[in-house]
Structures are given as C-alpha cells and as structure tokens.
Chains A and B, each alone.
Chain A
Amino acid sequence: MTNITEKLELFEVFVRSKRGLDHKHIGSLHAEDHEQALEYARDCYTRRTEGVSIWVVKSDDICASQEDDAECFYDPSDDKPYRHATYYVLPDPVNNM
C-alpha cells in the first residue's frame, strides 16, 4: 500500500510573524497543489496566530547550495577583513561612528 504522502507534493512553508519582518522557514508539508498547501499550512503552522502571511513553495523548486560547496561559496570572503567596520581603529572620541 502506498502512503498517500507519496502521491502528494512536498511544500516548504514560510511564515511572516509580524508585518515588516521577513518570512521565516517554519517547516514543510504534503499537499496536492499550492492552494491546498496554503490551507494545510494555516491549519498546521498557525493555530496560535503565529503569522500574518504565509508563503508556500514547492520543495522541488528550491535550489540550495550544498555544504560541500561552502569553500568556493564563502572562503573568498575570509581574507577580506576590511569589509568589516571593526577593522578600522579610530580615536576614542569618534569611535562610535
């Protein structure tokens, strides 16, 4: 017997907890389509009015960098400390800029 979830698509759910804040990834669920995913997300993830807005995205549509790629993605930044404000030593009286 096949599990029904295998016939459904996987969706990732993002919830904006308050106006003005970013949508945050909160979890995933199975659904037939976007509309259904939105309804399930409401029932599943916002039972205590955790949010004011929900996004659902098909998991397959998410293209993510892999941990193994970390080196070529992020290493080039490591030798650029001058991109950080703390790199610049200024006299005390003006150091709050």
Chain B
Amino acid sequence: MTAPQEENFMRKIQAEEKIEPKDWMPEAYRKNLIRQISQHAHSEVIGMQPEGNWITRAPSLRRKVVLLSKVQDEAGHGLYLYSACETLGISRSEMIEQLQSGVAKYSSIFNYPTLTWADVGAIGWLVDGAAIVNQVSLQRTSYGPYSRGMIRICKEESFHQRQGYEAILELAKGSPGQKEMAQDALNRFYWPALMMFGPHDSESAHSQKSMEWKIKRETNDDLRQKFVDQTVKQIEVLGLEHPDKAIKWNEERGHYDSSDLNWDEFWSVINGNGHCNRQRIEHHVAAHEEGEWVRDAITAYNDKKRAKKAQNAA
C-alpha cells in the first residue's frame, strides 16, 4: 500500500504538474534528481576547460570576445544548476567534493582534447548542439527549479551553437588546409557528441525510473536520433564529408539510419580512461585551491563590514 503523500506526488506527476522544493517527494526521486542536476552542473563547469584552452589563441579579436562570452555563459549555467540542485538539500561544497573525488560524473565529451582551432568551432556546433537537443527536452522535466533553469539556459545556448557553426563554416570555405582542419575536427567530435546522449535505453541504469517520474521526457536513443537527423543537412551545407559512411535516409522510419557507436570507448572514458580525465579534475582542484585567497579576502572584507555596522549601531 502506498502512502497518501506518495499517491499525491504521483498524481501531480501524471497531471504534468511540477514538483516544487517544499513539496513532499520520494527519497529516490530526490536522489535521482541530485545525481542528474549536479552531473549537469559539473559538465557546464568542466566544459569550460577544453574551450578555455583556446581563448588566448583565438585567431582574431572578434573570435576571442565571442569565445570569452560563451565560456562565461557556461560558468553561469553551472551556477544556475548548482543553485537548482541546492534546493534539494545538498550543499555546494558536497557537490564539489563529489566531483573532485570522482563520485559524481560529468559529460564524457569534455575528456576529449581540443587540438586545433577548428575543434572550438566543432564544440560549439556539435557539443552545444547536442546539449541543446537534450536541454530543450528537459524544459519539460517534472522538477520546477530544474525546468526553469533549463528554459533560461536554452535561451542562452542558441548563440553558442551558431558561433561554432559560423567558425567551422569559415574554415570549410577556406583554404584546403583549413577545410582539412574542419573535416578532422568533425571526424573526431561527431562520435563523442552522439555519446553525450548516454548508453542505449536498454543499458541505461537510471532511464526507466527517470522516465516514470518525468525527470527525463525522452529516451537517450530518441534524443540521439533527433541530433543525427538534424546534423546531416548541416554537414552538407559545410561541404564536408559525413563521418558516418552508413548514414542513410530510411523512408519507412522517417529517420536516418546510422552506425552503432563504439561503446567500449564510451565506457572507458566514463570510467576515467579518456585522454583528459585526470587533467580536467587536477585542473579543477588546482583552480579551486589557487582561488583560496579570493575566498579569504571576501570573508575578511565581510567581517570588516559587519564590525563597522555594529560599531555604527552602537
């Protein structure tokens, strides 16, 4: 027999009503959300590293300010999501601790290195593009603060994808060397971008419950298919070769058929053996420790301000 509060919770979910922070919710729903939202927040924050790698070397002042703005947005997205997650009763420092100790994951895409300037374009176009497909769907997630965060983030994401595509387009229409660079970036980032949607639905540990609770609204495979479909035309307009030689329109399904992914690579990167896993976390830890003096300064300043106020009041 289910408790009345659980029945009430499920009634809201089924009626497409949102769950808000002060509502009763099953412990497993809370845990599931904390896992997903914190993982999402960590991805925004760690995601700054591969692109940040190119800020000082962007090929023009225009590209530099654009990239700087984009990376700044990602920091903001991290903040929105950490705040949404904090409404579930976990603290910021607990989340950071889980990230740095490897208990919490982040999107495996950010463990790939950015070798050339074209990679920055490919990330905006493909990685942000894939993130948008996922995030548009999550605007309808059942947890209110997460849903509102997604709506705000989606509004900001569109420029990320467009600036990336624009940068790749310029290379693709450029010299043979530039075009080759664009093709190489596409070849390397296409597959990991598809892996961003997660394992097949049949292999996904959290999928079923997440769908039932409407934390997730569409399955990994359905979202991935959307991305595959929308990317074909975009590659064509660039005049580049599609990295998937098996890509083929399927009239009956109304979708493109495509090759299966290298799931061994996927699990290996998730489990810590990607090119940059160690470097990403080491850098995060170092940046956090090097920022200690800033936090100390803020605390000292606030103490001083409080003391002054108390003095004035006395």
Binding site for B on A (CB under 8 A): 16, 19-20, 22, 53, 80, 82-85, 87-91, 93-94, 97
Interface of B, helix, strand, loop or mixed by DSSP: helix
Assuming the A-B contacts A19-B12, A82-B62, A82-B65, are A90 and B166 also in contact, with contact meaning beta carbons closer than 8 angstroms in the complex?
A: yes
Q: Evaluate contact between A87 and B159: CB separation under 8 angstroms.
A: yes
Q: Can you list, as one digit per residue, whether each of B5-49 has a CB less than 8 Å from chain A (1) or not (0)?
A: 000000010000111100000000000000000000000000000
> Considering the chains assembled together, what is the distance between the CA atoms of A61 and B168 in angstroms?
49
Q: Chain B nearest CB: distance from A18 CB in Å?
A: 8
> Considering the chains assembled together, what is the distance between the CA atoms of A39 and B158 in angstroms?
43
Assuming the A-B contacts A20-B17, A20-B144, A94-B233, are A82 and B69 also in contact, with contact meaning beta carbons closer than 8 angstroms in the complex?
A: yes
Q: Evaluate contact between B233 and A93: CB separation under 8 angstroms.
A: yes
User: Which residues from A are CB-within-8-Å of B73?
Assistant: 83
Kindly state whether residue B134 has any CB partner on chain A within 8 Å. Answer: no
Q: Evaluate contact between A83 and B159: CB separation under 8 angstroms.
A: yes
Q: Evaluate contact between A94 and B159: CB separation under 8 angstroms.
A: no
User: Which residues from A are CB-within-8-Å of B159?
Assistant: 82-85, 87-88
User: Which residues from B are CB-within-8-Å of A91?
Assistant: 169, 237
User: Which residues from A are CB-within-8-Å of B165?
Assistant: 88, 90, 94, 97
Q: Evaluate contact between B129 and A19: CB separation under 8 angstroms.
A: no
User: Which residues from B are CB-within-8-Å of A85?
Assistant: 158-159, 162
Interface residues on B, range: 20 to 34
User: Which residues from B are CB-within-8-Å of A88?
Assistant: 159, 162-163, 165-166
Q: Chain B nearest CB: distance from A83 CB in Å?
A: 5
User: Which residues from B are CB-within-8-Å of A87?
Assistant: 159, 162
Kindly state whether residue B66 has any CB partner on chain A within 8 Å. Answer: yes
Of all chain B residues, the one with the shortest Cβ separation from A88 is B162
User: Which residues from B are CB-within-8-Å of A19?
Assistant: 12, 17-20, 144
Of all chain B residues, the one with the shortest Cβ separation from A82 is B66
Q: Evaluate contact between B162 and A82: CB separation under 8 angstroms.
A: no
> Considering the chains assembled together, what is the distance between the CA atoms of A90 and B167 in angstroms?
11
Of all chain A residues, the one with the shortest Cβ separation from B156 is A83
Q: Evaluate contact between A82 and B163: CB separation under 8 angstroms.
A: yes
> Considering the chains assembled together, what is the distance between the CA atoms of A82 and B165 in angstroms?
14
